[in-house]
A and B are shown apart, each in its own frame.
Chain A
């Protein structure tokens, strides 16, 4: 009897203990307090705490969301034309999409990365890669406009890009597909040995942000999947994950999945700088576009560059080492201290953490396990610091909260897993809906993460939203990570494919905002800085209209003397100098988009009048109380007409 009582008491104690633990874990579910709805509610007129710059993937653009609300503020056109904003349609931005293959209206935008100073986010620029026709873009975080795009020669499937070093010395871009370098007409079967992988180091001017392809390191013909820079103690190194070290050129899903281990390539770029300074490079003829948008002329120019400096790592010991990493590693992430390099073997269930300290030691003591194309392979057991065992299925990417924890996405098992650096133990796991790719903690790949939220980006949503036919939205999911356990707060749809994102506290961006462009600083070659400067000029069959907009009229708004067969340029300057007062313009029959002109800006579209008559144009952005009155007419006379040019506003 006594014994039975004891048992019962014991059981009660266990139950109450369990209840206690449960209660505790609930109360610790996020230090933010309140319900999920309260945590993501940003009251009307209030601002979000973070910007999330989310790539649009195959939309080619970059979307700007607020966190924690998940509200979309702007889509910045980067690699794809955008009729709404005239990007790639007006004469000023067409050069932005020029490449060595000509004008390309689309790309696949993947990895935004915000500029850093001393390893911390500084809010100057965000860089993003175009995968398909390899390019890197730089977007100003003052204007939220794409200011520069540089094409990358010798590269293909520009995927292990665009990651900035600790002081934005370089933005680094690696090739996913190796290709013949230089390109040549050879059999695809000659892949092994003949194909190369170019790792591009693009120097960034600290004042202007201007990019210059400084050098390329010509690596063996593997697939270079992702990259991250060393930071802190590992500053000066760049780490790239590889797959297809088998060097297969067909049915890669099988043939590139045979090796038990592929590599993380560690590149000592400080050493590369020394080699460049010492002239230890070859200059290779090449062809790639460099496109720069000038805020003063409101116009872009495209220049084709003709050569690139190349370094052969097999000839320079100490430049590159290979760290064996299991099963086709995808993500390659470096923790805030710079000590651990996390390789996510996407065909494995485990994560591999290499130690930078171990790596240096292995290099010093020549603990090599062979070589590949003259590049030393470090001994796996000597560099590995730990393995996160059985964490999930299909690990992809890892970010850090700055408190010693790491968060990894698992594509196959659709979950985010929280684990501890150093002990490699799994602390928590939460499902995602569904098939998560990247995840993002603001500053989560810098020396100073802001570990309040993690944003998981999902490829598939199936039944999560109202259905919209066969094509469904992709999504992002926000988790509170301030507690011991992650808490799902919000699930919101995104543009295109939310491939990866960069987050930053709003306070680092808001003070930098450009509100208007100053008219007196507008140096567009066809600017009209006041209505007095408006005119219409004929040069043969080309007609240039210098037009202005101000609430609520165009000047001039009646134009005569245009003829069928003319090429008519509308150069439209918005004379407004007030915040948030753009004007638009479109002309009936113009085979292009509208213009959307910010205060103080000049933009141009071309119209080919084909029919005799009187044709209207109007303001397309609801600008004011008399927006509907903001319109004008162009009279088009037959070819060969002698009607002189005449332009007026209110008869004057």
Chain B
């Protein structure tokens, strides 16, 4: 098998890591939590970073009127299908050996990824802004607006006494690597084809090489 094909297929298969590795993580740090508390986000579930973390996040957050982190969200039934679909698609594209399809796969991934990030942002926004009227503690910003508790999309941010850190995890990094491999496959395929074409256009090509 040509190297480019192989790279494309491996790249697509790397998405499958998301079925058992976390995609994202949100961690909360505060002095009275020497072991930071956090949750790992998989494509199909939220999971405690350490036992009982989600329960303890909910207990803290209920004072300011935040809803509990839900047991499940609609996305958890959609994400696995999309990921599986894209992995299969990527493998099929790889088998065709057409580099335009590799590029297409990359672009679809970028589009789907952006939709995913936007969806995640929406969820975070809602989680941080949808506060119960009966909240025991109501903080306001310096300009008098009700304070929101939205975690950062990526990076870190102080929320009252907590430093909230939101970062991709191994599953996401494998996905990025897979996407990167599809680009490498694209270039590799170009190179391989160039090589094939060399005998024909040797003279023309020569100066470009120099």
B76 CB-CB contact with A under 8 Å = no
Q: Which residues of A contact B136 (CB under 8 A)?
A: 625-626, 629
**Which residue on B lies nearest to A578, using beta carbons?**
B56
* Interchain CA distance A625-B160 in the complex, whole Å: 14
B41-84 interface mask toward A, CB cutoff 8 Å, 1 = contact, 0 = none? 00000000001100110010001000000000000000000000
Q: Which residues of B contact A550 (CB under 8 A)?
A: 59
B209 CB-CB contact with A under 8 Å = no
Q: In A601-628, which residues have CB < 8 Å from any B CB?
A: 624-626
Question: Contacts A577-B51, A577-B52, A578-B52 known; A551 to B137 CB distance under 8 Å?
Answer: no
Residue from A576, A578, A625 within 8 A of B137 (CB atoms): A625
**Which residue on B lies nearest to A599, using beta carbons?**
B52
* Interchain CA distance A576-B55 in the complex, whole Å: 9
Q: Classify the interface of chain B: helix, strand, loop or mixed.
A: mixed
CB pair B56 A577 closer than 8 Å:
yes
Q: Which residues of A contact B55 (CB under 8 A)?
A: 577-578
* Interchain CA distance A579-B33 in the complex, whole Å: 9
Q: Which residues of B contact A629 (CB under 8 A)?
A: 136
How many Å from the CB of B137 to the closest CB on chain A? 7
Interface size bracket, A side: 10 to 19
Q: Which residues of B contact A625 (CB under 8 A)?
A: 63, 136-137
Enumerate chain A interface residues (CB-CB to B < 8 A).
Answer: 516, 550-551, 576-579, 624-626, 629
3 A-B pairs with least C-beta separation: A577-B52, A578-B56, A551-B59
Q: Which residues of B contact A579 (CB under 8 A)?
A: 35
Q: List 20 A-B contacts (CB under 8 A).
A: A516-B52, A550-B59, A551-B59, A576-B59, A577-B51, A577-B52, A577-B55, A577-B56, A578-B52, A578-B55, A578-B56, A578-B59, A579-B35, A624-B63, A625-B63, A625-B136, A625-B137, A626-B63, A626-B136, A629-B136
Q: In B76-111, which residues have CB < 8 Å from any A CB?
A: none
How many Å from the CB of B42 to the closest CB on chain A? 21
Q: In B99-145, which residues have CB < 8 Å from any A CB?
A: 136-137
How many Å from the CB of A561 to the closest CB on chain B? 28
How many Å from the CB of B58 to the closest CB on chain A? 10
Q: Which residues of B contact A576 (CB under 8 A)?
A: 59
* Interchain CA distance A576-B137 in the complex, whole Å: 21
**Which residue on A lies nearest to B31, using beta carbons?**
A45
Q: Which residues of B contact A551 (CB under 8 A)?
A: 59
* Interchain CA distance A76-B190 in the complex, whole Å: 74
Q: Which residues of A contact B59 (CB under 8 A)?
A: 550-551, 576, 578
How many Å from the CB of A374 to the closest CB on chain B? 61
* Interchain CA distance A629-B56 in the complex, whole Å: 19
* Interchain CA distance A629-B137 in the complex, whole Å: 13
How many Å from the CB of A514 to the closest CB on chain B? 13
How many Å from the CB of B203 to the closest CB on chain A? 73
How many Å from the CB of B169 to the closest CB on chain A? 23
How many Å from the CB of B48 to the closest CB on chain A? 10
How many Å from the CB of A601 to the closest CB on chain B? 15
Q: Count chain A CB atoms within 10 A of each CB in B52, B63, B137 and give the residue with the most.
A: B52
Q: Which residues of A contact B137 (CB under 8 A)?
A: 625
Q: Which residues of B contact A577 (CB under 8 A)?
A: 51-52, 55-56
* Interchain CA distance A624-B52 in the complex, whole Å: 18
* Interchain CA distance A579-B37 in the complex, whole Å: 11
Q: Which residues of B contact A626 (CB under 8 A)?
A: 63, 136
How many Å from the CB of A631 to the closest CB on chain B? 14
| 17 other A-B residue contacts (CB within 8 Å) besides A577-B52, A577-B55, A626-B136 | A516-B52, A550-B59, A551-B59, A576-B59, A577-B51, A577-B56, A578-B52, A578-B55, A578-B56, A578-B59, A579-B35, A624-B63, A625-B63, A625-B136, A625-B137, A626-B63, A629-B136
* Interchain CA distance A574-B146 in the complex, whole Å: 33
How many Å from the CB of A449 to the closest CB on chain B? 32
* Interchain CA distance A390-B59 in the complex, whole Å: 67
